[in-house]
A and B are shown apart, each in its own frame.
Chain A
Amino acid sequence: MITSVAKSRSIPNVVIPGSRAFFSTVVGGVRSQEASQSSTASSTINEEGVWSQFDKRSESLKIKNPILRNELLHGIDPAKGPLTLKKGLSKMKYTSPTGLDEVFPLAYNFLQETAKEKYSQVTEIESQIAAETDEAVKTQLLKKKNQLIIDAEKFNPEVAYKAQFSNPENLNLDELVYQYYYKTKNFEGFNKMLLMQRIEQLHVLPDAIPTINPSVELKVKFINESGVNKYITPGDILSSRATSKPPIFQVNYLNIDEALKPSDKFTLLVVNLDHPNTKTNSYDITLNYGVKDVSFQHNNQVLSFDELSQGEFAEYLPPVPEKNSPTSRFVTLLLKQEEGPLATEKLNFNRKDFALADFLTENKLVPVGINVWRSKWDGNVKNVREMYGLPNGRVFHRVRR
């Protein structure tokens, strides 16, 4: 039971650890030049610099919560405690490391100055681009400009905070700096490695396509009453109930060097790599879903049914694996159409025995994004078949009958 509070006034002998007066004496002798010189009055950050001119820059580069923004730029108020700590006790207990509040404004102003220099270089390059006619030089300049914009913003504390601690799904990936952070930290730092491991272990490479270096993150999510409302981890085994309705997709275009153009068209395919074929004693690829001429207005775009229905050339067929057949791999591919829009009448394919490789070469499609999930037979397959008016499934046995 607490009988008293350790305040120097109420209990004379008790000193509160953590209070500044706790250790008053410093080790004797002169340590260094800077210790002997009395420190000047603490400086403040320049709030009229390039990082604060929000009339010229996107609001997404700003932290919306004014208290959090204030803490980030001016330090934590010891009377109130940090905002990010929830418990009152830990708020009270917390102290910032000594010296941080003094050095931060100087560091901030220094970095802001270098950012200002980079922005002036950007405007210079912009005028060069406007005057340039050679396409190759233009792309080179554009590349340089993008890098400069990233370099000017990546050390901005507000940007760095948002990139590290906010929900990556809410990041405005149209801002190059967020694209850079998402690409290096979230995608290449984790998601891409996981994806590549899964598609190699499941032999999606080379069963579906020979190889791929995804420059686009393709995320798949099934929304229905039974499914879990989150983007699937590549290689998940999903129930037939969850996959009974078409998925929605999110596409994160992460190619910083090559800007996304609204004229770029993409094709989206969902194929099953393991449809058993007893005649050939092997497996066929079947086409479960096909959409063409998909375009993106902005990055981080979610593709749902409405947007996809226009270019649909193969309606969604849910996974209905046969009983006792091995787990089927369902691969989602995002393909860039090299030669603009595709004509429906020219598309030549057989859904039941889909020649994936030929389809890609015929229509000049280049894979840029990939994802995979797995399905196997469960008790609900029968209902899904009824829902879509599909014939009864087959049952396989250890010895073929």
Chain B
Amino acid sequence: MLTNTIKLQSGLGLSLSQRIMPASASISSMMAGTISSQFTRGKRTKSKSTMSQGTQRVVGQLSVMSAARKQPLRLKLTNEDLVRHQVVHNAWAMLQKQKRQVREEKLTKQFEAMQSAMEDLKHGVEDGGVLFGFGSKFEKTKKRVSLELRVPTEYPPNQVWNHKYSKSD
């Protein structure tokens, strides 16, 4: 309260307090609705809205999610640029399609190779079906991908490869 009084006396008044410090939520909410002749620090002279502090905060938060005043101007392309953009888009789609086709072909081949290997193991080996039995055995618990397998990243880790592996660990 002391500083307030000084300011009032020094005649700097409302404009200074407004410029330097934002309205303190607790004080202004305390003062809201009460008629006071005494100067309060941070009190706005012109209250633009009659909304309560809480409502105001919600409005502020909602405005972040709203497109109002935040949308850029529409991107207008000339016909030439539109066609150029289409070419880029089509080339990308074509590239993805080609990659997909190669991958699918390969996967089919790998699947068929597994088939034929198992077929061969069953009928073409003189072992009394032992190898085929092992090869087609499934654990009751699901086989899981090892946790030590790394997902590729954009840049390598500081230690590229763990060379210090020991079985006894």
* Interface of A toward B, CB cutoff 8 Å: 32-33, 68, 71-72, 75-76, 82-85, 94, 96-97, 100, 103-104, 106-108, 110-111, 114, 155, 157, 160-161, 164-165
Pairwise interchain contact B80-A107, C-beta atoms closer than 8 A: no
Pairwise interchain contact A110-B80, C-beta atoms closer than 8 A: no
Stretch from B7-15, B81-89, B127-135, B142-150 contacting the other chain: B81-89
Pairwise interchain contact A110-B77, C-beta atoms closer than 8 A: no
Determine the chain B residues whose CB is within 8 A of the CB of A108 once the complex forms: 87, 91
Cβ of B30 within 8 Å of any chain A Cβ, yes or no, is no
Give the Cβ gap from A328 to chain B, nearest Cβ, in Å: 43
Pairwise interchain contact B77-A97, C-beta atoms closer than 8 A: yes
Give the Cβ gap from A85 to chain B, nearest Cβ, in Å: 6
Determine the chain A residues whose CB is within 8 A of the CB of B94 once the complex forms: 110-111, 114, 155
* Interface of B toward A, CB cutoff 8 Å: 75, 77-81, 83-88, 90-92, 94-95, 98, 154-155
Determine the chain B residues whose CB is within 8 A of the CB of A107 once the complex forms: 87-88, 90-92
Determine the chain A residues whose CB is within 8 A of the CB of B155 once the complex forms: 33
Pairwise interchain contact B91-A76, C-beta atoms closer than 8 A: no
The complex places the Cα of A169 from the Cα of B155 at a distance, in Å, of 55
Residue of B with least CB distance to A161: B83
Determine the chain A residues whose CB is within 8 A of the CB of B154 once the complex forms: 32-33
B80 in complex: contacting residue of A84, A106, A155, CB < 8 Å: A84
Give the Cβ gap from A108 to chain B, nearest Cβ, in Å: 6
Pairwise interchain contact B84-A100, C-beta atoms closer than 8 A: yes
Pairwise interchain contact B81-A82, C-beta atoms closer than 8 A: yes
The complex places the Cα of A100 from the Cα of B95 at a distance, in Å, of 18
**CB<8 Å pairs between A and B, sample of 25:** A68-B80, A72-B83, A76-B80, A83-B80, A84-B78, A84-B79, A85-B78, A97-B75, A97-B77, A100-B81, A103-B88, A104-B88, A107-B87, A107-B90, A107-B92, A108-B91, A111-B91, A114-B94, A114-B98, A155-B91, A157-B83, A157-B87, A160-B86, A161-B83, A165-B79
Determine the chain B residues whose CB is within 8 A of the CB of A110 once the complex forms: 91, 94-95
Determine the chain B residues whose CB is within 8 A of the CB of A100 once the complex forms: 81, 84-85, 88
**Chain B CB within 10 A, most for which of A32, A107, A160:** A107
Pairwise interchain contact A96-B81, C-beta atoms closer than 8 A: yes
Give the Cβ gap from A44 to chain B, nearest Cβ, in Å: 14
The complex places the Cα of A160 from the Cα of B81 at a distance, in Å, of 12
The complex places the Cα of A108 from the Cα of B83 at a distance, in Å, of 11
Give the Cβ gap from B26 to chain A, nearest Cβ, in Å: 36
B79 in complex: contacting residue of A32, A33, A75, A161, CB < 8 Å: A161
The complex places the Cα of A11 from the Cα of B84 at a distance, in Å, of 36
**Chain A CB within 10 A, most for which of B81, B84, B88:** B84
The complex places the Cα of A108 from the Cα of B40 at a distance, in Å, of 69
Residue of B with least CB distance to A107: B91
Residue of A with least CB distance to B92: A107
A160 in complex: contacting residue of B75, B77, B78, B87, CB < 8 Å: B87
The complex places the Cα of A115 from the Cα of B67 at a distance, in Å, of 43
The complex places the Cα of A72 from the Cα of B88 at a distance, in Å, of 12
Residue of B with least CB distance to A162: B83
Pairwise interchain contact A160-B83, C-beta atoms closer than 8 A: yes
Pairwise interchain contact A82-B78, C-beta atoms closer than 8 A: yes
Give the Cβ gap from A165 to chain B, nearest Cβ, in Å: 5
The complex places the Cα of A164 from the Cα of B92 at a distance, in Å, of 21
The complex places the Cα of A97 from the Cα of B72 at a distance, in Å, of 14
Residue of A with least CB distance to B86: A160
Residue of B with least CB distance to A68: B80
The complex places the Cα of A107 from the Cα of B79 at a distance, in Å, of 18
Residue of B with least CB distance to A75: B84
Residue of B with least CB distance to A163: B83
Pairwise interchain contact A161-B75, C-beta atoms closer than 8 A: no
Q: Contacts A107-B88, A155-B91, A161-B83 given; 14 further ones with Cβ under 8 A? A: A32-B154, A33-B155, A72-B84, A83-B80, A94-B78, A97-B81, A100-B85, A111-B87, A111-B91, A111-B94, A114-B98, A157-B84, A160-B86, A161-B80
The complex places the Cα of A342 from the Cα of B47 at a distance, in Å, of 91
In the complex with contacts A33-B155, A110-B94, A164-B83 CB distance below 8 A: yes
Give the Cβ gap from B148 to chain A, nearest Cβ, in Å: 25
